[in-house]
Chain A
Amino acid sequence: QLQLQESGPGLVKPSETLSLTCSVSGGSVSSSSYYWGWIRQPPGKGLEWIGSIYYSGSTYYNPSLKSRVTMSVDTSKNQFSLKLSSVTAADTAVYYCATQSYVQYQLPYYFDYWGQGTLVTVSS
């Protein structure tokens, strides 16, 4: 069974770049069956999709964040990553990585497997 684990700094200063990595075990980021997604949840609030990436590098980003988001895949390390630039306090959230089921020539579907999440606080 796929397992995902987020890692990265828990505290980021305003205007800096948030960087997180998701390590995948029990499967391969090169799988043709999944996109690899990031979702965040501000404390006490709901879920917001950030973006998703395929092993080929194809991406979908949330238009509300697109100008600040960069995602990448490292097949040699079986990891994928998120960078969010110019952060503010509004970016304080638990960040989850997740798999997104995919069938060729379709949009990715639902989020099957989730990491435990990592809290990132934006504060000086």
Chain B
Amino acid sequence: DIVMTQSPDSLAVSLGERATIKCKSSQSVLYSSDNKNYLAWYQQKPGQPPNLLIYWASTRKSGVPDRFSGSGSGTDFTLTISSLQAEDVAVYYCQQYYSAPPYTFGQGTKLEIK
């Protein structure tokens, strides 16, 4: 199984400041034949289901604000919120779809306002 490890477990950032969440996979999720990283990011607000933000490590889903960006390759990935808004308070998860079963998620990072 590919183990996904996020850091930090929780994070407090001031409004308007940058938030950075890391995700590390236990093996590369870069598929050499298409040069794509099989990595997605989700946002889960309290009492709601997860919402897909980013797939292929850096492609924003339609409708996702451009303050959200994904980067990285191989085993190390980053979700960045360029200017934190109050509505961004949530738990964020990464997920690999390079190898399955099983599909695996990171443990989650809780983002709060400082």
A residues apposed to B, CB below 8 Å: 39, 46-49, 51-52, 60-64, 96, 98, 101, 107-112, 114-117
Contact B101 A62 (CB under 8 A): yes
| A96, closest chain B residue (CB) | B49
Q: How far is the CB of B19 from chain A (nearest CB, A)?
A: 19
Contact B105 A46 (CB under 8 A): yes
Q: Which listed residue, B40, B97, B108, touches A107 by the CB 8 Å rule?
A: B97
Contact A47 B38 (CB under 8 A): no
Contact B108 A49 (CB under 8 A): no
Give the docked Cα–Cα distance between A98 and B38 (Å): 18
Q: Which listed residue, A61, A108, A112, A117, touches B52 by the CB 8 Å rule?
A: A112
Query: Chain B at the A interface: mostly helix, strand, loop or mixed?
Result: loop
Interface residues on B, range: 20 to 34
Contact B49 A115 (CB under 8 A): yes
- For residue B28, CB closer than 8 A to chain A, the reply is no
| A108, closest chain B residue (CB) | B97
- For residue B77, CB closer than 8 A to chain A, the reply is no
Given contacts A108-B97, A110-B95, contact A62 B102 (CB under 8 A): yes
Contact A47 B101 (CB under 8 A): no
Contact B93 A46 (CB under 8 A): yes
Give the docked Cα–Cα distance between A98 and B50 (Å): 10
